[in-house]
Chain A
Amino acid sequence: MIYLGGREPLVIPDASQHPVTKDLPITKSGNIGSYLGVPILLADGTMFGTLCALNSEPYDFTQDEQGIMTHLSKFLSHALDLEQLAANFQLKSMALEATPNAVAIVTIDGDITWVNPAFTELTGYEARELPTYRMLVPDDNPEDKATFHQIRTAVNNGSPWSGEVLTRRKDGTRYDSELTVTPVLDEAGNVRYFVSIQRDITTRKQTETRLHFLAHYDTLTQLPNRVLFQERLTEALSCDDQDALPALLFVNLDRFKNINDTLGHHIGDLLLIEAAKRIKDCAGPRAFVSRISGDEFTVLLPGPFDSLTVEQLAERLIQSIKQPMLVDDYELFISASIGISTATRQIDPDTLFQQADLALSHAKESGRNRCRFYTDDMDNSGRIEMENALRKAVDRGELILHYQPKVDLATGKMVGMEALVRWEHPTKGQIPPYVFIPLAEEIGMIGPIGEWVLREACRQNKQWQDQGLPALCVAVNLSVSQFQYGNIVEQVKAALADTGLDAEWLELEITESIIIQDTEKVISTLRDLQMMGIRIAIDDFGTGYSSLSYLKKLPIDSLKIDRSFVKDITGELEEEETIAKAVISLAQSLKLRVVAEGVETEAQLHFLMCQNCDMMQGYYFSRPLPVEEFAQLLASGRDLFAGVRVNA
C-alpha cells in the first residue's frame, strides 16, 4: 500500500528495494515496479489528490519527467481553482440576479454598467438603456441635492453610504427607496466602481405616514391631536426669544353634550368638523390649531403679539362659532368659551395648559360665550390634592377633636364643652378648620365628617364619664347638609345608642342658615331631638337672617352670641356693646340661656358678667384642648375665673 496523502512528490524507481513499498503485497505480486506521485495542491492549501505514474517494472524517472509531472499537477490545481472560482462567481451572480433588491454596478463617473432584474422592474430601465446615476437619484431640489452630494462624497472617499432617498423611475415618477452604496476599490486602492442597492420602501413609508397621521392627528376633524399639540407647545416654549413665546387659547364648545345627547353623535361629529373648520379659518396660518379631546380645541399663537391681538382673535373665534351651523338639515346654534394664557420665560407646558384651563373655567362660570385671560388669582393648585386627602382623612384617622370649655358665669365652673374638629395632615401638619370645612362642604364630605364628629364626641364624653370625671354636656355643631340630606334624628339616636351616652349630655348647635332652609321642617326635627332629651343651641346668633318671629317657636335651649359681637366689646365705647346687650336681653326675654363665644379679654368678661350672661367660652379661659389636656383640666375641677369674680 502506498500512502498518497503526502504533500511532497514521491519517487520510487524500484519498489522492491524502496523501504515504503518493498514489503507491500502489490509489490510482491508484481503489480508495481516503479512509482512517481505528485500532490495536487489547491490555492488555499487544500490537498485535492495525486497525479501518479507507475510501471510494473523498475524505472528510473528522469528529472525532466519529474518536472513535467510537477507542472501538470499544478495545472490541474489551477484548473480546479478556476472551476471553484467560476462556480462561486456564478452562485453570487445568481444571488444578485434573484435578490428582490435593485442592484446596479456604477462607474465612478456615474455610468451604470450592470443591473439585476429587480432594478429593471423597480425603475423601468432595461439593461440596454441604462441611465446615469444622476438620472436615478435626482438632485433638483435642495434636499435631494444635499443627499446626492453626501453620496458622491462618500463614494469618492471610498466609504459606504446608506440612507433613504427619493428616487426617480424611467417614467419620471418618484418612489422612496432605502439605498446602500458601496465603493469597489481596485488593487491600487482607487475607487473604480460602486455598487448601488435599492429597496423600494414606498409601502413602508405610506404606512409610516398613515401611522404618524393616526398618532398625531384627529381623524374626525383632520386637525392635530393632543400628542402633536403637546409636542408643538413644548417646542414653542423652548424658544429662547422672549418675544416669540406663544399664547395659548383653550376653546371649549358650550353645552356641546346637549347636541350629542339630543341629536346623536353623528350630528355632534358633523358639528365638530364645522367648528374645527371655523376655528382654523379664524386662527389663520400662523396659529397652530388642535383638537385635544371631545369638544376641546387649542389655538397656539406664536409670538410676538400683544394682548389686544390675542383678545381680538378670541372674540373672532367666539363670533365665528356663534354663527348658525347648518348640519344635516339642522340649523344649530352653539357658543364657545375660551381661556387664554400667555407664556412667560421658563413656564412649562403643563402649567401653561393648566392656566388656560383655569381661565376657561372662569369663562364658563362667568356665563359662557366669552373669553378670559388667566390671572394669578385663578390659581388653585393643590386644591385637588387637598380634596383627595380630605376624602381619605376620616378613614385614615387624621381627624381629631379638641374640646373647649364652657364656663358658668355664676359659679366659675366648667359646665359644658364644645367639640371642635381638627385635621392633622400627615405632611402639612394641622390644617385650620376655616380651610377644610368649606372644602368639605363643597365636595360633599361635610356629612360624613359631621357624623364622625357626632359619634366621636359622644364616645369620648361617655369614656370620660366612665373614668369618673365630672359629667358635662358636649356640644356638637351640625351642618346644613346633615339636616338636608341625612336623617339627623336617626344619626343621633344611633350615635347615642352605640356609645351609650345619655341624651342629656349631648347638645347640638345649629346655625341660622339651617333654620332658614325650611323652617317648619327644621322645627319638627328639632322637636324630635328635644323629645329625646337633647339640648339645642343656635350658634353664631345674630349673623344670619332668621325671622325673630320663628325664634320663639324653635325648640331651643340656648343662644350663642357670635364672637364678632363679643369682639366689639372693649369697655371703652358703649355703642360697641349694643348688639351683645340686645342679644342677651332677647334671650333672657325668651327664657333662653345665653352663651358668649370668643371671650378673650377681662373687659369682655366683666361686661358679660354685668349683663348676666349665663355662660362663656373663649381663649380667656381656655383654648380648645386636645383630649388628654382637657381630661386633666376636667379632673382638676379648677375655677377658671376665680380671680375675676372677686373684681366683678
Chain B
Amino acid sequence: MQSAILRNAFHFHEIAENVLSLVRDLVGAKTFFIAYTNQEVFTVLKLISEENSPLRPDSLPLESSY
C-alpha cells in the first residue's frame, strides 16, 4: 500500500528529508527517522542519526524494527 502511495509521491522524499532536518533542530534526540511497516516488513524510509545507531534506511524483518 505504502509503495503504491510513494510511487506517485514524486516530491515526498525531499519533503521527508526537510522534515527530519527540522525535527533534528527542534527535538532533543540523536536519531530521527520515518518508517513504515507493511506485510511484516519494517522499512526505514529516511534516517538522520548523530550517534552510532544500528538503523539503516532499508527494509528489515519486523522483529528487528524499532
With a cutoff of 8 Å between Cβ atoms, the chain A residues found around residue B26 in the complex are: 65, 68
Q: Are A31 and B53 in contact (CB under 8 A)?
A: yes
Q: Are B22 and A46 in contact (CB under 8 A)?
A: no
Q: Are A48 and B36 in contact (CB under 8 A)?
A: yes
Q: Are A4 and B35 in contact (CB under 8 A)?
A: yes
Among listed A76-84, A104-112, A358-366, A419-427, interface-contacting one: A76-84
Which of B11, B30, B51, B66 has a CB less than 8 Å from the CB of A4?
B66
Which of A50, A52, A59 has a CB less than 8 Å from the CB of B28?
A59
Which of A2, A80, A84 has a CB less than 8 Å from the CB of B66?
A2
Q: Are B35 and A50 in contact (CB under 8 A)?
A: yes
Q: How long is the Cα–Cα vector from A419 to B51 in the complex, in angstroms? A: 133
With a cutoff of 8 Å between Cβ atoms, the chain A residues found around residue B31 in the complex are: 53-56
Q: Are A79 and B35 in contact (CB under 8 A)?
A: no
Flag whether A446 is at the interface (Cβ < 8 A): no
Q: Are B63 and A52 in contact (CB under 8 A)?
A: no
Contacts A/B (CB < 8 Å), 23 sampled:
A1-B63, A1-B66, A2-B66, A4-B42, A40-B36, A46-B5, A49-B36, A49-B37, A50-B35, A51-B34, A52-B32, A52-B34, A53-B27, A53-B31, A56-B52, A59-B29, A61-B29, A62-B28, A65-B27, A72-B19, A72-B22, A76-B16, A76-B34
Q: How long is the Cα–Cα vector from A42 to B53 in the complex, in angstroms? A: 29
With a cutoff of 8 Å between Cβ atoms, the chain A residues found around residue B5 in the complex are: 42, 46, 48, 80, 83-84
Flag whether A5 is at the interface (Cβ < 8 A): yes
With a cutoff of 8 Å between Cβ atoms, the chain A residues found around residue B32 in the complex are: 51-54
> B62 — nearest CB in chain A belongs to which residue?
A1
Chain A interface size range: 35 or more
Q: How long is the Cα–Cα vector from A40 to B16 in the complex, in angstroms? A: 12
Q: Are B34 and A4 in contact (CB under 8 A)?
A: no
Write the nearest CB–CB distance from A224 to chain B, whole angstroms.
61
Interface string of B32-50 (1 = CB under 8 A from A): 1111110000100100000
With a cutoff of 8 Å between Cβ atoms, the chain A residues found around residue B52 in the complex are: 56
List of 6 A-B pairs having minimum Cβ-Cβ separation, nearest first: A49-B36, A87-B8, A83-B9, A53-B29, A65-B27, A79-B15
Besides A35-B66, A53-B29, A55-B51, 20 more A-B contacts (Cβ < 8 Å) are A1-B63, A1-B65, A2-B66, A4-B35, A4-B37, A4-B66, A31-B53, A31-B54, A36-B29, A49-B36, A49-B37, A51-B19, A54-B30, A56-B30, A68-B27, A76-B12, A76-B34, A80-B12, A83-B8, A84-B9
Flag whether A594 is at the interface (Cβ < 8 A): no
Q: How long is the Cα–Cα vector from A5 to B54 in the complex, in angstroms? A: 21
> A32 — nearest CB in chain B belongs to which residue?
B66
> With A83-B10, A84-B5 known to touch, is A4 a contact of B23 (CB < 8 Å)?
no
> With A1-B63, A51-B19 known to touch, is A79 a contact of B30 (CB < 8 Å)?
no
Q: Are A69 and B23 in contact (CB under 8 A)?
A: yes
Q: How long is the Cα–Cα vector from A4 to B11 in the complex, in angstroms? A: 24
With a cutoff of 8 Å between Cβ atoms, the chain B residues found around residue A84 in the complex are: 5, 8-9
Write the nearest CB–CB distance from B26 to chain A, whole angstroms.
5
With a cutoff of 8 Å between Cβ atoms, the chain B residues found around residue A51 in the complex are: 19, 23, 32, 34
With a cutoff of 8 Å between Cβ atoms, the chain B residues found around residue A62 in the complex are: 28
Flag whether A369 is at the interface (Cβ < 8 A): no
Write the nearest CB–CB distance from B35 to chain A, whole angstroms.
6
With a cutoff of 8 Å between Cβ atoms, the chain B residues found around residue A3 in the complex are: 65
Residues 57-105 of A contacting B (Cβ, < 8 Å): 59, 61-62, 65, 68-69, 72, 75-76, 79-80, 83-84, 86-88
Q: How long is the Cα–Cα vector from A84 to B2 in the complex, in angstroms? A: 12
Flag whether A604 is at the interface (Cβ < 8 A): no
Q: How long is the Cα–Cα vector from A61 to B23 in the complex, in angstroms? A: 13
> B43 — nearest CB in chain A belongs to which residue?
A49
Q: Are B2 and A75 in contact (CB under 8 A)?
A: no
Flag whether A26 is at the interface (Cβ < 8 A): yes
> With A76-B15, A80-B5, A80-B12 known to touch, is A34 a contact of B29 (CB < 8 Å)?
yes
Write the nearest CB–CB distance from B51 to chain A, whole angstroms.
6
With a cutoff of 8 Å between Cβ atoms, the chain B residues found around residue A52 in the complex are: 32-35, 66
Q: Are A36 and B66 in contact (CB under 8 A)?
A: no
Q: How long is the Cα–Cα vector from A278 to B37 in the complex, in angstroms? A: 89
Which of A48, A59, A86 has a CB less than 8 Å from the CB of B2?
A48
With a cutoff of 8 Å between Cβ atoms, the chain B residues found around residue A4 in the complex are: 35-37, 42, 65-66
Write the nearest CB–CB distance from B27 to chain A, whole angstroms.
5
Q: How long is the Cα–Cα vector from A79 to B16 in the complex, in angstroms? A: 9
Q: How long is the Cα–Cα vector from A536 to B33 in the complex, in angstroms? A: 131
Q: How long is the Cα–Cα vector from A54 to B29 in the complex, in angstroms? A: 6
With a cutoff of 8 Å between Cβ atoms, the chain B residues found around residue A26 in the complex are: 66
Q: How long is the Cα–Cα vector from A36 to B26 in the complex, in angstroms? A: 13
> B64 — nearest CB in chain A belongs to which residue?
A1
Interface string of A37-48 (1 = CB under 8 A from B): 000101000101
Q: Are B12 and A68 in contact (CB under 8 A)?
A: no
Task: Pick the most buried of A2, A46, A69, A83: most chain B CB atoms within 10 A of its CB.
Answer: A83
With a cutoff of 8 Å between Cβ atoms, the chain A residues found around residue B64 in the complex are: 1
Q: How long is the Cα–Cα vector from A80 to B16 in the complex, in angstroms? A: 10
Q: How long is the Cα–Cα vector from A158 to B28 in the complex, in angstroms? A: 56
Task: Pick the most buried of B28, B32, B63: most chain A CB atoms within 10 A of its CB.
Answer: B28
Write the nearest CB–CB distance from B12 to chain A, whole angstroms.
6
Which of A32, A34, A79 has a CB less than 8 Å from the CB of B12?
A79
With a cutoff of 8 Å between Cβ atoms, the chain B residues found around residue A36 in the complex are: 27, 29
Task: Pick the most buried of B32, B34, B52, B54: most chain A CB atoms within 10 A of its CB.
Answer: B34
With a cutoff of 8 Å between Cβ atoms, the chain A residues found around residue B2 in the complex are: 48-49
With a cutoff of 8 Å between Cβ atoms, the chain A residues found around residue B28 in the complex are: 59, 61-62, 65
With a cutoff of 8 Å between Cβ atoms, the chain A residues found around residue B63 in the complex are: 1
Interface string of A1-45 (1 = CB under 8 A from B): 111110000000000000000000010000110111000101000
Write the nearest CB–CB distance from B46 to chain A, whole angstroms.
9
Write the nearest CB–CB distance from A310 to chain B, whole angstroms.
79
With a cutoff of 8 Å between Cβ atoms, the chain A residues found around residue B1 in the complex are: 46
